[in-house]
């Protein structure tokens, strides 16, 4: 295996195991491994000044970082006798495991922690570690992943600032400030989920991690910028009357009492925060470049709509003005909207030949533009091992 890639592999594994260790110490150890100063069979020997010069940090940060790592028993401190004064030594206590094919999470995280990554060099150590921790956490979700996006998604994470603060070793207020900065800089997108009646978040936020600034560090080829119209455009906030769009898709007969009741219920979808959330969920599915894109789209759209309307069983809805209960009608209409959105997205991507030609290892899809004129930007990205060695 390529030695450089092996080092990056070890950097990722080290970072992922240091949850709760503050950023300066965490990043210091990653730099030491990346630069071959410590690792399997490697022991650092020398003082603080020598190490500070080797990693490009000041002595105060290096001294504090080493003390933290020794305190967490990540590094074992010792002394080597010489003819003069004894020399301090540091040995890594972590055992590494073999890494197979890289996931999206591992690839992006290794890029973020790479000291030579251009796109992430503008970030502070704390920003860099927080962004990397978001990706590590998203890759470890498993069955606890947001049901709205599915357990296999590694570009969407639901997490609270309190949890992140514990994971990164920072104060909650600092984490909130850093998250806002990462959003402003285009590395993540916080999905506004203040829409009513949802059980998706409680005190947590949902973050879309594959932002345009993150993609810049990968060999990327711009595929297309897509205009959004129809029902998809309305969910993106581009269309005029939501009532007209939904009436057309659902085939309402407004002279029917049942349909008038359903119409009033579905007008609740004209909620900007929820529509934006659904759009981001679609971006996550499309960014995955999965084989079953059609099935994933239907599942995600349907789950989001049912979550919004709290459809868990046949008795989820309250009574209409006439006293009758119509949960089946609402579910049927939501199925029509789901099918319409699914069809529009697939037709849009098919028309642009997004997945034609050479197989893509990754696709980044994200909204761009101002409210009222939102479009989708789609980039193909290379996540191969060879790309990480560059």
Q: pLDDT value at position 2?
A: 54
| Shared-domain flag, residues 239 and 213 | no
More confident residue, 8 or 323: 8
Do 57 and 125 lie in a common domain? Answer: no
- The CATH number given to whatever domain includes residue 209 is 1.10.10.10
Asked if residue 389 is part of any domain, the answer here is no
Strand partners, 363: 380
- The pLDDT score that the predictor gives to residue 202 is 44
Domain shared by 206 and 228, yes or no: no
Number of structural domains found in the chain = 3
Asked if residue 383 belongs to a domain, the reply is no
| 213 and 233 inside one domain | no
Whether residues 235 and 364 share a domain: the answer is: yes
As a whole-number percent, the residues of the chain with pLDDT over 90 amount to: 17
| Domain stops at, among 197, 217, 237 | 217
Q: Indicate the SS3 state at residue 160.
A: coil
Alpha carbons 266 and 258: distance in angstroms, whole number: 12
**Strand-pair partners of 190:** 207
271 and 308, same domain (yes or no): yes
Q: What is the dihedral of CA 145, 151, 153, 157, to 10 degrees?
A: 0
pTM: predicted TM-score of the whole model, two decimal places: 0.72
151 inside domain? yes
> Is a pLDDT exceeding 60 seen at residue 51?
yes
pLDDT band for position 335 (cuts 50, 70, 90): confident
Q: Tell me: do 71 and 131 sit in the same domain.
A: no
| Pure H helices in the chain | 3-17, 23-34, 48-55, 59-71, 104-113, 125-139, 161-168, 172-184, 212-215, 230-235, 242-250, 257-266, 272-288, 293-308, 327-351, 385-388
Domain range for 292 is: 221-378
What is the bridge-based pairing of β-strands 189-191 and 205-208?
A: antiparallel
Q: Are residues 111 and 181 in the same domain?
A: yes
> Do the domain assignments include residue 165?
yes
Looking at the domain assignment, is residue 272 inside a domain? yes
- State which of 47-56, 167-176, 372-381 shows the largest mean pLDDT: 167-176
User: What is the per-residue pLDDT for 291?
Assistant: 54
The pLDDT tens digits of the residues spanning 274-283 come to: 888 888 888 8
Q: Has residue 388 been placed in a domain?
A: no
Looking at the fold, whether 86 and 149 belong to one and the same domain comes out as no
- Total residues belonging to the chain: 390
Q: Do 263 and 186 share a structural domain? A: no
CB atoms within 10 A of CB 177: 15
Q: Which of 101, 104, 165, 162 is nearest to 133 (CA)?
A: 165
pLDDT tens digits along 236-262: 888 665 567 777 777 766 677 777 767
Domain boundary among 169, 189, 217: 217
344 in a domain, yes or no?
A: yes
Could you tell me the CA-to-CA distances from 141 to 121, 134, 146, 206, 211 in Å, in that order?
27, 11, 8, 13, 20
Q: Determine contact, residues 235/341, Cβ cutoff 8 Å.
A: yes
Check residues 298 and 3 and name the one with the higher pLDDT.
298
Torsion angle, CA of 5/7/11/14, rounded to 10 degrees? 120
Give the model's pLDDT for residue 24: 92
Query: Cβ neighbours of residue 94 under 8 Å, at least 6 residues apart?
Result: 13, 14, 17, 74
Greater confidence (208 vs 362) lies with: 208
Mean pLDDT of 10-27: 91
Q: For residue 195, is pLDDT > 70?
A: no
Q: What is the mean pLDDT of residues 255-274?
A: 74
- In this structure, how many other beta carbons lie within 10 angstroms of the beta carbon of residue 239? 17
The verdict on 267 and 349 lying in the same domain is yes
Mean pLDDT of 26-32: 93
Confidence label for 144 from pLDDT (cuts 50, 70 and 90): very low
Which has more pLDDT, 40 or 204? 40
β-pairing verdict for 189-191 and 220-227: unpaired
314 pLDDT exceeds 50? no
Q: Which residue has the higher pLDDT, 52 or 87?
A: 52
Mean pLDDT of 310-328: 50
Domain assignment present for 386:
no
* pLDDT over 90 (residue 166): yes
End residue of a domain, out of 217, 245, 270: 217
Please list the residues that pair with 364 across neighbouring strands: 379
Q: How confident is the model at residue 165 (pLDDT cuts 50, 70, 90)?
A: very high
Token couple for 54: 């080797």
Domain shared by 152 and 201, yes or no: yes
């Amino acid at each position: 295996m390529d030695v450089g890639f092996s080092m990056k592999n070890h950097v990722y594994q080290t970072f992922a195991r240091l949850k709760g260790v503050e950023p300066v110490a965490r990043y210091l150890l990653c730099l030491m491994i990346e630069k071959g100063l410590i690792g399997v069979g490697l022991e650092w020997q020398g003082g603080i000044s020598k190490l500070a010069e080797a990693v490009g940090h000041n002595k105060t940060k290096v001294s504090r970082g080493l003390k933290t790592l020794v305190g967490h028993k990540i590094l074992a401190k010792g002394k080597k006798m010489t003819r003069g004064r004894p020399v301090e030594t540091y040995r890594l206590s972590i055992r590494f495991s073999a890494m197979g094919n890289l996931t999206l999470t591992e690839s992006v995280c290794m890029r973020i922690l790479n000291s030579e990554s251009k796109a992430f060099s503008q970030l502070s150590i704390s920003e860099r570690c927080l962004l990397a921790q978001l990706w590590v956490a998203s890759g470890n979700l498993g069955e606890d992943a947001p049901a709205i996006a599915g357990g296999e998604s590694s570009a969407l994470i639901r997490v609270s600032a309190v949890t992140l603060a514990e994971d990164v070793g920072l104060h909650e207020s600092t984490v909130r400030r850093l998250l806002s900065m990462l959003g402003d800089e285009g590395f993540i997108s916080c999905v506004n989920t203040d829409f009513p009646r949802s059980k998706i978040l409680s005190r947590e936020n949902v973050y879309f991690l594959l932002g345009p600034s993150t993609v810049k560090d990968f060999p990327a080829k711009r595929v297309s910028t897509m205009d959004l119209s129809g029902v998809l455009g309305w969910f993106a906030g581009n269309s005029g009357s939501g009532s007209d769009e939904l009436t057309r898709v659902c085939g309402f007969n407004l002279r029917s009492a049942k349909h008038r009741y359903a119409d009033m219920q579905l007008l609740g979808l004209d909620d900007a925060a929820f529509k934006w959330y659904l759009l981001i969920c679609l971006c996550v599915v499309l960014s995955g470049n999965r084989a079953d894109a059609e099935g994933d789209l239907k599942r995600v759209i349907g789950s989001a709509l049912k979550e919004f309307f709290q459809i868990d069983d046949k008795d989820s809805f309250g009574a209409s003005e006439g006293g009758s209960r119509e949960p089946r009608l609402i579910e049927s209409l939501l199925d029509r909207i789901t099918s319409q959105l699914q069809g529009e997205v697939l037709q849009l991507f098919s028309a642009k030949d997004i997945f034609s030609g050479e197989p893509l290892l990754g696709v980044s899809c994200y909204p761009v533009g101002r409210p009222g004129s939102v479009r989708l930007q789609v980039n193909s990205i290379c996540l191969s091992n060879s790309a990480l060695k560059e």
